[in-house]
């Protein structure tokens, strides 16, 4: 189908200084957990987006010097010749598809601890960043930068910019956001200087201006220079000659960079989860930028609707539609819009599992896109799967996230698929979870897959079809896949911090009970040691029903693991709005129908809380009864011609929805192949005998690389190096 005329504006080319982006789809810099230690994984991950139509593809944070060392968190480097070679894999991969490649050069300033380099962190005035959790290693505090330090950082930026140009990048960034060094110069809380770099907004902007100017001098006239800047805090500060200091900053730098990349100040607001923030949430902060500069502006807002994208362009908010999370969820989002296939977009659900990957220090993962990070490791393409030479009749029992993904991928491979679920609707756990406060967008996992399955003639869907062992054997498929999910238990949590023993009382409930329509008596108490979203959001849900409810956890915060998904402060605010009392660091010891006995996790001191019912959000265990029965009837399976029974998703190992989708996809890719039990390929760093070779040698290397023949995702061979 042709592109909808309403969306053609999204495919107009836009100049960024001396270079031209082929369209308005701009994959902004974002963390991927793929450092220079995983150069082929990183290159293939970015290449998928270029192939899918994103006009600009950027790296994540790329350190300019060992004084910006974020280990053990994953970060890239642009320090030496090895780094040039590693990044060249990515630029070549992106250029193969006609996209521009951008690099986010970065100095973390006081936000890094330099654990590996053991150099003093740098800061405009020696003020630590987020001192509550940065600065633990002996309470090392940053050094106040003198003029020599400022000159040194400028020199490192210029050196890294030249290396970036040699590696083939078309756009080079100066980063002044998210608490990093340039940002620290902009805010008076961090910048107490009395010299030409402190005081007035004109002086506080000076360091950033010099970083842009020296970068432009370094890269020459054929490379664009972008400024990435956080505006949220400055937008809230009145200016002397403009409505805010954010306005004054943009006015002062209006003609200096080739592009403004504008964002928020902290992760919970910059990439807020859909549970708390809708599409386009940045607009109230960044809507003024284009009125003060003629340079192109890119911003984000978890854009998934092409109508919203077009609105941003036509109303003069943005020139480029920035995408980080949406580009991970669907690398082919631009191509699908251009080809009139909007219904096939895998829309980002805003769960922020991708962000948790960086906090975990691993390659990015995505709930919607199980191929993210697996393009090189497993050879998975986000849109293509290999057709099978030997189609099989495969029965999948369970239509939740794992079963739906498995059915879709098996169907695309050419198998005959029967997907059965005992419920009236498909969706599994999401049938209930999508109804909880803020989680409606999560049902995109179900909607996308059902939409595609309903188009496939080789897939049959059977709702309201409970199947036992007898029915399965009677159907006699070639293979059975069990996606029967998991159940919440009423087990307690011990002082050894493990689930132990059941709490047997008629007024003890689990999330499954509430999903089934049973509500607790009030006042109720939610005891949460699952520590992800369910305990907090279920408490919100009960409070919204008018049930007096309190929340208790042995962790240090409510829904403690949501710090990994940038939701933690927002969870606490949501509970406070509902007037929910939150008790941390306490175990549940007993419940008698009128009182719950709690004990402090460390001191053992007991306290009693009045409540008439208790909801335990803790251990989940697989629903394994059907698998056990089928295992015991191996002879009957063999007689029916059933060659195997597999489990996927929560039926195999309970986890987040992202794990379930990945599990279903992986099995579907591997059924009937000889890679079923093989592990993924391990990437290795690119290492020269002499790493720090001079720029002339680097340039010769870069030119020689252009002659190397590569296919799509051909970054696969280690032997080249």
Reference 418, options 360, 362, 463; nearest CA is 463
* Residue with tokens 């150069």, as numbered in its chain: 39
- State the DSSP string of 523-572: SEEEEE-S-SHHHHHHHHHHHHTT--EEEE-SSSSTTGGGGGGT-HHHHH
Provide the pLDDT for residue 18.
Answer: 98
Provide the pLDDT for residue 674.
Answer: 74
Provide the pLDDT for residue 138.
Answer: 45
Dihedral of the alpha carbons of 152, 156, 162, 168, in degrees to the nearest 10: -170
Provide the pLDDT for residue 361.
Answer: 87
Q: Whole-angstrom Cα distance, residue 670 to residue 611?
A: 50
Reference 392, options 474, 452, 473, 476; nearest CA is 476
What sections of 343-415 are H helices per DSSP?
353-360, 401-413
Residues in contact with 470: Cβ distance below 8 Å, sequence separation at least 6, in sequence order? none
Give 4's DSSP letter. P
Q: What angle do CA 489, 355, 182 make, to 5 degrees?
A: 145
- Split the chain (721 residues) into runs of 10 and give each run's mean pLDDT: 95 98 97 93 97 97 95 92 96 98 97 90 88 50 94 98 98 96 96 97 98 97 97 95 96 98 90 92 95 97 96 97 97 98 96 92 95 96 95 98 98 98 97 98 98 97 97 97 97 89 93 96 96 98 97 97 94 97 96 96 95 97 97 95 96 97 97 77 80 47 41 39 23
Q: Whole-angstrom Cα distance, residue 651 to residue 421?
A: 14
Provide the pLDDT for residue 708.
Answer: 35
Peptide linkage before 72 cis (omega within 30 of 0): yes
Q: Are strands 416-420 and 122-123 parallel, antiparallel or unpaired?
A: unpaired
pTM: predicted TM-score of the whole model, two decimal places: 0.93
The Cα diameter of the chain in Å comes to 86
Q: Which residue of the set 26, 175, 180, 533 is catalytic?
A: 180
Provide the pLDDT for residue 24.
Answer: 98
Q: Whole-angstrom Cα distance, residue 609 to residue 624?
A: 36
Angle of the 147-167 helix axis to the 695-705 helix axis, nearest 10 = 30
Q: What is the length of the chain? A: 721
180: annotated active-site residue: yes
Contact 357, 74 (CB under 8 A): no
């Amino acid at each position: 189908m042709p592109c909808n005329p309403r969306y053609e504006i999204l495919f107009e080319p836009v100049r960024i200084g001396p270079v031209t982006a082929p369209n308005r789809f701009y994959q902004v810099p974002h963390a991927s957990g793929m450092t220079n230690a995983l150069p082929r994984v990183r290159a293939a991950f970015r290449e998928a987006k270029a192939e899918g139509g994103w006009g600009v593809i950027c790296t994540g944070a790329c350190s300019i010097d060992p004084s910006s060392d974020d280990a053990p968190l994953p970060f890239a480097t642009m320090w030496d010749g090895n780094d040039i070679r590693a990044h060249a894999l990515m630029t070549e991969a992106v250029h193969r598809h006609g996209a521009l490649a951008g690099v986010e050069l970065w100095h973390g300033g006081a936000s890094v601890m330099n654990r590996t380099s053991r150099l003093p962190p740098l800061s405009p005035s020696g003020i630590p960043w987020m001192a509550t959790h940065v600065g633990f290693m002996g309470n090392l505090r940053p050094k106040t930068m003198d003029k020599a330090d400022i000159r040194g950082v400028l020199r490192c930026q210029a050196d890294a910019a030249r290396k970036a140009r040699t590696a083939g990048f078309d756009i080079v960034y100066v980063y002044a956001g998210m608490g990093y060094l340039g940002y620290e110069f902009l805010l008076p809380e961090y910048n107490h200087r009395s010299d030409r770099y402190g005081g007035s907004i004109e002086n506080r902007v000076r360091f950033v201006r010099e970083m842009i100017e020296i970068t432009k001098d370094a890269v020459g006239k054929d490379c664009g220079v972008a400024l990435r800047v956080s505006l949220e805090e400055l937008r809230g500060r009145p200016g002397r000659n403009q409505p805010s200091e954010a306005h004054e900053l943009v006015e002062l730098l209006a003609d200096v960079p080739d592009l403004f990349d504008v964002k928020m100040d902290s992760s919970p607001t910059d990439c807020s989860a859909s549970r708390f923030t809708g599409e386009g949430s940045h607009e109230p902060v960044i809507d003024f930028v284009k009125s003060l500069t003629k340079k192109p502006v890119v911003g984000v807002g978890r854009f998934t609707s092409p109508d919203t994208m077009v609105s941003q362009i036509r109303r003069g908010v943005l020139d480029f539609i920035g995408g980080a999370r949406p580009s991970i969820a669907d690398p082919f989002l631009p191509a699908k819009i251009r080809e009139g296939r909007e219904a096939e977009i895998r829309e980002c659900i805003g769960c922020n599992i991708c962000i948790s990957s960086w906090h975990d220090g691993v390659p990015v993962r995505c709930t919607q896109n199980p191929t993210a990070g697996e393009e090189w490791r497993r050879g998975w393409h986000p849109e293509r799967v290999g057709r099978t030479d030997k189609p099989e009749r495969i029965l999948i029992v369970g239509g939740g996230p794992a079963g739906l993904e498995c059915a879709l991928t098996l169907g695309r491979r050419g198998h005959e698929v029967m997907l059965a679920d005992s419920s009236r609707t498909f969706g599994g756990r999401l049938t209930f979870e999508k109804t909880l406060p803020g989680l409606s967008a999560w049902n995109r996992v179900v909607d996308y897959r059902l939409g595609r399955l309903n188009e496939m003639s080789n897939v049959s869907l059977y709702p309201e079809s409970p199947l036992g062992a007898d029915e399965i054997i009677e159907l006699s498929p070639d293979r059975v896949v069990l996606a029967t999910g998991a159940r919440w238990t009423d087990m307690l949590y011990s002082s050894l911090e493990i689930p132990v023993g059941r709490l047997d009382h008629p007024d003890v409930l689990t999330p499954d009970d509430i999903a089934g329509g049973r509500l607790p008596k009030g006042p109720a108490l939610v005891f949460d040691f699952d520590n992800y979203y369910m305990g907090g959001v279920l408490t919100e849900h009960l409070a919204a029903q008018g049930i007096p409810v309190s929340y208790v956890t042995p962790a240090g915060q409510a829904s403690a693991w949501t710090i990994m998904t940038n939701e933690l402060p927002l969870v606490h605010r949501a509970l406070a709005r509902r007037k929910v009392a939150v008790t941390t660091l306490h175990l549940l010891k007993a419940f008698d129908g009128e009182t719950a006995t709690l004990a402090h996790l460390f001191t053992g001191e007991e306290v009693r809380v009045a409540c008439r019912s208790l909801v335990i959000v803790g251990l989940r265990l697989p629903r394994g009864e059907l698998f056990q029965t089928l295992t015991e009837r191996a002879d009957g399976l063999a007689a029916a011609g059933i060659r195997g029974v597999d489990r996927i998703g929560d039926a195999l190992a309970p986890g987040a929805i992202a794990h379930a989708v990945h599990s279903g996809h992986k099995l579907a890719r591997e059924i009937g192949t000889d890679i079923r039990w093989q592990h993924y390929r391990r990437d290795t760093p690119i290492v020269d005998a002499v790493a720090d070779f001079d720029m002339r040698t680097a340039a010769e290397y870069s030119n020689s690389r252009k002659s190397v023949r590569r296919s799509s995702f051909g970054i696969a061979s280690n032997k080249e190096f």
